[in-house]
Amino acid sequence: MRRSSVIAAATFVAASPSLAAPAFAETSYPEDIGSFGVVFADPSGHECVEAQDDSGERCKPAAVSAAVLPSGKILYWDGIEGMNHIGLNVVLEFGEKAMDDQARVMDVSGSEPSWSVPTPKDTNGNPGGYDENAEYLPLIPHDNDNKNNDGNLFCAAHVFLPDGRLLINGGTAYYSEPSIPGTDYGVLEPVGIKNTRIFDPKTNTFEPAADMSYGRWYPSTISLASGKAFTVSGVRKLVKPIYPDSPVTDWLTNVRQTETYNPASGKWTTNPPSADKSLPLYPRIHLLPDGKVYYDAAGQAFNPMGEAYDEALWNMTSVYDPAKQSWTNLGVPVINGVPAGFRGSGFSVMMTLEPDQDGKYSSAEVLSGGGVLGMTPGTYLGSNSATLNTIDTANGDKFTSKSVEPMHHPRWYANAVVLPDGKVFVANGANVDEDVSPGLGFPIRDTEIFDPETGEWTKTAAQTQGRTYHTTATLLPDGRVMLGGHAPFPLMFGPQNNILHDTVGASRNTTDPSFQIYSPPYLHWGERPKIAAAPAKAVNGGTMKVVVDSPTYVSSVRLVRNPSMTHLVDPDQRTVELAVVERSGNTLTLAVPDNKVLPPGPYMVFANRDSERGEIPSVSKPVMVGRG
């Protein structure tokens, strides 16, 4: 067993005494529950470990958003930067004191992690900011003097384009409405911006791209089979969604209009009214193997009062047909046979897509869990329920829903990652809704894994850091999972205060720039298969040849879309098992599905072998899938 390659994270050096080695004893049985490496962080920059930080410096960025680039490096950026400068109350001060977010690129492929700073480090979200006459600004006293918080990547959506660049649309601008003249005080108003940026991994730079027609804060964007990007929802103004320049039907609701980005032209197109849809913020959407977009009756409901007069519609799952540019309702998810409807701040992941005996992909299963039930403020207490929704694409997108075994812990804001063996790893989260009562929740440090074969959850190793809000969990190319993030609102929206964290173990009140890497149990089961060679590119509808060390024991080969996660959502997340056409010597010939099953873009190819305990994945190879 090659432990040096399996748990290289254990050699990472802890970032500081405050991020010391795990407080929990290392498990004696990693083959049952996996293992965590040490906690680590970028050694450069200012670490805001003290509440009420008066240094005036920016904090190290926490990984509120993270994307695994085609190179295997991780791009990440933070959110709600400047929260450590609040002296009295977030609502009264953050419109002025918020700052544009910072980004970093991290490499964890070696014995120790390394970092670089992209250009520009504040991501070029909205160069120059908005002037006082910008269309989103109201006709009541306001203050937008601070131009350095008008282009935050916080609350943007992001997906990979077919060429491996990262499209980032929407985000946040802050101002005070109304404001108290001559002071830094007012009423915070976060607004959605129209801006688009594209990150190019080859040059390590962010570049402005075409604006959308609508400002979007908390949108979701997904890659279509065509390679175009489809964006939905978001809100133009969070607290007071009333727009003098829009029809009254646009008031008190999220953005109903949808837009599509064409990489060939570099422009957005507003879809016709038939494509309009009332959806929650960051709706959980997935691309089905028939090319339609599925909405899983889940998302964020951060708006103070829900702020959608038609939010009852969010309880219904539905599909969008890009060809017809229209939506069709499917059904309502259930828990224990009872219609459950909307799930707020929970996870939603599509299980492995598998070919049938004819090599076709004719259905999709989506696992959702945790969060709270119902719209704002929902049930407040975190839920441990889990639901498996099935969409039969061979029979007109027929919808069925059933409960599976509950998780071991109720979890609000938990991250879920589909592993290369098809199981689902869940980490992070709090016991209650910390949007409703910031700082009063308690972190869930135990992790767990769902086995779709048995329908059961297994409690796995405990993470060291409690990460409850604005967290990420991403599958790495070597089969490990990296946890990061945690950017909370301070205790009850007042100034940061770590008293409850330090005394009773409540959620940390300051941002956490650290990371920790989890090695799943399969990395402790024995020798891993090796991929000696894989093509750099694969064509939809064709075949690809993968050279392995011993093809006779390879049980499956799966393509995993490069992760791109924020706010628990990764709409492009997908794992696709490839049909084996031929085994010849050490070469496997594999059928590459069409672009509805594998939309163009970057993937990681894993070869798995069977063991007595289950499948063991290889280290992956990068593959760009395209339409030829």
Distance CA 619, CA 605 (A): 8
- Do the bridges between strand 424-427 and strand 481-485 make them parallel or antiparallel, or are there none, so unpaired? unpaired
Q: Which of 14-23, 87-96, 261-270, 358-367 has the lowest mean pLDDT?
A: 14-23
pLDDT for position 558: 98
Q: Residue 484: CB partners within 8 Å, gap ≥ 6?
A: 62, 63, 66, 76, 467, 471, 472, 473, 474, 514, 515, 516
Structure-model confidence comparison of residues 432 and 307, the more confident one: 432
Which three-class secondary structure state does DSSP give residue 499? helix
Q: What is the pLDDT of residues 36-66, one digit of tens each?
A: 999 999 998 877 766 556 666 788 999 999 9
* Mean per-residue pLDDT, 324-350: 95
E strands, 273-397, where? Answer: 285-287, 293-295, 298-299, 317-321, 326-331, 334-335, 338-339, 343-344, 347-350, 363-369, 372-373, 386-392
pLDDT for position 77: 96
Q: Which of 58-62, 170-174, 245-249, 267-271 has the lowest mean pLDDT?
A: 245-249
Residues 453 and 483 sit within 8 Å (Cβ to Cβ): no
pLDDT for position 52: 57
Distance CA 612, CA 526 (A): 10
142-180 burial: b if 16+ Cβ within 10 Å, else e: bbbebeebbbbbbbbbbbbbbbbbbbbbbbbbbbbbebe
Which three-class secondary structure state does DSSP give residue 507? coil
Q: What is the pLDDT of residues 389-429, one digit of tens each?
A: 999 999 999 999 999 999 999 999 999 999 999 999 999 99
Residues 612 and 553 sit within 8 Å (Cβ to Cβ): no
The secondary structure of residue 427, as a DSSP letter, is E
Structure-model confidence comparison of residues 263 and 145, the more confident one: 263
Please return the burial class of 124, using the count of CB atoms within 10 Å of its CB with bins 0-12, 13-18 and 19+. Answer: buried
Q: Which of 145-149, 290-294, 424-428, 487-491 has the lowest mean pLDDT?
A: 145-149
CA 227, 278, 311: angle at the middle one, nearest 5? 145
pTM (2 d.p.): 0.94
Q: What is the phi/psi pair of residue 318, to 5°?
A: -160, 170
| Residue showing tokens 């305990």 | 613
Residues 618 and 529 sit within 8 Å (Cβ to Cβ): yes
Q: What is the pLDDT of residues 440-454, one digit of tens each?
A: 999 999 999 999 999
Residues 157 and 261 sit within 8 Å (Cβ to Cβ): no
Distance CA 352, CA 167 (A): 25
Distance CA 572, CA 579 (A): 21
pLDDT for position 340: 87
Q: Residue 425: CB partners within 8 Å, gap ≥ 6?
A: 416, 417, 419, 447, 448, 449, 460, 473, 481, 518, 520
Distance CA 601, CA 287 (A): 14
Count of CB atoms within 10 A of residue 582's CB? 12
Residues 279 and 255 sit within 8 Å (Cβ to Cβ): no
Structure-model confidence comparison of residues 376 and 43, the more confident one: 43
pLDDT at 11 over 50: no
What domains can you pick out in the chain, each with its CATH number? 531-626 (2.60.40.10)
pLDDT for position 137: 57
Q: What is the pLDDT of residues 255-311, one digit of tens each?
A: 999 999 999 999 999 999 999 999 999 999 999 999 999 999 999 988 776 778 889
Q: What is the phi/psi pair of residue 544, to 5°?
A: -140, 145
pLDDT tier at 332, thresholds 50, 70, 90:
very high
* Mean per-residue pLDDT, 506-521: 95
* 569 DSSP β-pair partners: 566
Q: Is residue 377 reached through a cis peptide bond, with omega within 30 degrees of 0 on the bond before it?
A: yes
Question: Of all helices (H) and strands (E), which one includes residue 311?
Answer: none
CA 1, chain centre distance (Å): 32
Max distance between CA atoms of the chain, in angstroms, equals 77
Look over the chain and give the mean of its residue pLDDT values, rounded to a whole number.
Answer: 90
| Residue showing tokens 């879309």 | 561
pLDDT at 570 over 60: yes
Residue 404 CA neighbour count, 13 Å, CB half: 21
pLDDT for position 132: 54
pLDDT for position 623: 98
366-392 burial: b if 16+ Cβ within 10 Å, else e: bbbbbbbbbbbbbeeebbbbbbbbebe
Q: Is residue 120 reached through a cis peptide bond, with omega within 30 degrees of 0 on the bond before it?
A: yes
Distance CA 366, CA 380 (A): 24
pLDDT for position 184: 87
Q: What is the pLDDT of residues 117-126, one digit of tens each?
A: 999 987 767 7
Of all residues in the chain, what percent carry a pLDDT higher than 90? 75
CA 531, chain centre distance (Å): 28
pLDDT for position 628: 75
